[in-house]
Amino acid sequence: MSGRNLLIFIACFFCRALLAQSGPNRYSEFPDSIATHKVVLDKQSKIISWITPQADAYDRFLRGRWGFILKGIPNSPGPTPRSDYPQYYFYCAYKDQQMIPDTWMNDVGEKIPNWFESARLFYQYTGDKRALEIVTKMANYAIDHGTSASDFAWPDFPYTTTNAGDTVFRGFTSAKRLVLHEVQVDHAGDMGHTYYRLYLYTGNEKFKSAAIHVADALARYARVGSASQSVWPYRVVMSDGRITAQYGANWMGCYSLLDDLTKAGLGNTVAYRSALSKARDFILNYPMKTGFWTDGHTDTDVNSDTYKSNMSASNAALYLFDHPEFDPEYKTDIPDLIQWTEKNFVYRTAPGEPSTQWGANIVGEQDEFLPKMDYQTARYAAECARWYAISGDAAYKEKAFRSLNWVTYCSDSNGLAFESPLSKGVTSWWSDCYGEGPRMFYHALAAIPEWAPPGENHILYSENVLKEVFYKGNKLKYRATGGSGKEFLRISFKPSVIRVNGAAIHKEDNLLKAGYVLKPLGNNDYSLIINRSSGGAVTIE
């Protein structure tokens, strides 16, 4: 979910205008290609994945992205200790296939939460822990080298951004946009939520303590929101508490952190409940009604109560799919949010770029940065797929299918990502390409399990943190942390028994009661949704 350098955007604008006047541009040179792949069309002349067969396309895309990281990324340039760590620790992005670090900044508060979500979902899907091990080390490093002093106005709070190459995180000051110790409160909340979820996965008390510190600050500074100031200030200088931007709308990570800790009985739950009430009221009464889903990402100095960012709106929509109780009007608000994205970030484009390609809607990022991007397009596809699962409206399934297919073209055959393949001068950001984009595919697979590979067993999605995931033949096991929850699976056998904490659960016709829903997909494959009333050990055999 990384923001982009406005200077690059301006340069891109004039470059494309010049090319349009003086000679062939990327489109006329490669009218039937995206990144490194020739576009494949179906009988309707609409895009399908370059990965064959199509039934395996999303699986191979996900394995390719993490496979690229797991094969090893070059270490950071410069002296030790920087050169002891991979580039993604200290840089926001890389340039082209040469993997040259982009020296713009380091978006810590976006990268770590997105990588964690991508890694945990990949682990649940495959049983492979290696990506989660990488992210656990990154988060541990951030706590040790990117937490505010205990005597600050915002104490023991995560730094969300820093200069490129910094091994100690203290804020993004090199471009003179932000000042020392300045952070985005929303992304700090995302960091805190990640710390708590890492505690659930690892049992490491260090992560729990860090999460509670974040929640305590959020509870202390929560306020009644309005059209001009949000429940929390968007940006603050942690050392003295100075507010540098009053309004933001990307609060689902902060809300989730406070809600999860309250349900677990951890921290100052009385104060957390008060903050939760203020946050919910603000979200439903202001951005949900006004459409001002403001967030400028971690490298911008946006200070506005009318700015729009697709990420903020998308995070709200995705939260509602897992927590419809948050919004009594979710069946109206979710499709409205999808249409908001189409109006603001599909049909609005950077100069020379299309809104759609071969039937796929492709999506930009924020008001001041409209180039079409793989991870924003994946976000849109995830929302469309999940709304199809609720509404049954086949138009949303079609939108999701074409947009996801477009995103698969943004990887080469080795999993190297091209974040914005239509634009010149836009680098590929670690946070977006290997975190935020891939994690959206699991939402889509949960909604439409026939898009997962046939004849295989996979946990497609769970909002809950799962551990002890084990696949062997026609048997799956895992341990669900937290309380009640749901898991979405595709399996290649009809289960004879499903147990939660040793007790068999029953097949149900719907998800209104605890149990499981099983639907045939053909060829002895099944869609399985487990609706648990508690956490604990789950076995399927």
Supply the mean pLDDT for the chain.
94
pLDDT at 422: 92
Average pLDDT over residues 117-122: 98
Residue 71: CB atoms within 10 A of its CB come to 9
pLDDT per residue over 456-512, tens digit each? 999 999 999 999 999 999 999 999 999 999 999 999 999 999 999 999 999 999 999
Average pLDDT over residues 126-140: 98
pLDDT at 32: 86
Bond before 101 cis per omega within 30 degrees: no
For residue 140, pLDDT over 80 is answered with yes
Nearest CA-CA partner of 218 in 239, 197, 233: 233
- Output the CA–CA distances (angstroms, integers) from residue 64 to 58, 60, 177, 433, in the order listed: 10, 6, 36, 12
User: How remote is the C-alpha of 51 from its chain's centroid?
Assistant: 23
- Output the CA–CA distances (angstroms, integers) from residue 227 to 287, 294, 363, in the order listed: 8, 11, 27
User: How remote is the C-alpha of 536 from its chain's centroid?
Assistant: 26
Residue 322 near residue 279, CB atoms below 8 Å: no
pLDDT at 97: 80
Determine the Cα–Cα distance for residues 451 and 443; give it in Å rounded to an integer.
Answer: 11
pLDDT per residue over 497-528, tens digit each? 999 999 999 999 999 999 999 999 999 999 99
pLDDT per residue over 15-55, tens digit each? 333 333 323 333 334 468 999 999 999 999 999 999 999 99
Determine the Cα–Cα distance for residues 115 and 121; give it in Å rounded to an integer.
Answer: 10
Res. 264 pLDDT band, cuts 50 70 90 = very high
Average pLDDT over residues 166-174: 98
pLDDT at 296: 86
pLDDT per residue over 71-111, tens digit each? 999 999 999 999 999 999 999 999 988 899 999 999 999 99
pLDDT at 19: 30
pLDDT at 27: 35
pLDDT per residue over 310-326, tens digit each? 999 999 999 999 999 99
Least confident of 24-28, 117-121, 398-402: 24-28
Amino acid at 369: F
pLDDT at 96: 80
pLDDT at 281: 98
For residue 10, pLDDT over 50 is answered with no
Res. 197 pLDDT band, cuts 50 70 90 = very high
Q: Quick one: what percent of the chain has pLDDT higher than 90? A: 93
pLDDT at 21: 30
* 101 strand-pairing partners: 94
- Output the CA–CA distances (angstroms, integers) from residue 238 to 152, 155, 180, in the order listed: 6, 7, 9
- Which residues, other chains included, contact 378 with Cβ-Cβ below 8 Å and sequence gap of 6+? 403, 404, 407, 436, 437, 438, 440, 441
H helices of 286-355, in order, are 287-290, 310-322, 330-341
* 183 strand-pairing partners: 236
DSSP conformation class of 510: S
Residue 218 near residue 275, CB atoms below 8 Å: yes
How far from each other are the two terminal CA atoms of the chain, in whole angstroms?
38
pLDDT per residue over 229-245, tens digit each? 999 999 999 999 999 99
How deeply is 38 buried, as exposed, middle or buried, from its count of CB atoms within 10 A (0-12, 13-18, 19+)? exposed
User: How remote is the C-alpha of 364 from its chain's centroid?
Assistant: 15
Backbone phi, psi, residue 257, to 5°: -60, -50
- Please give the structure tokens belonging to residue 277: 């009430």
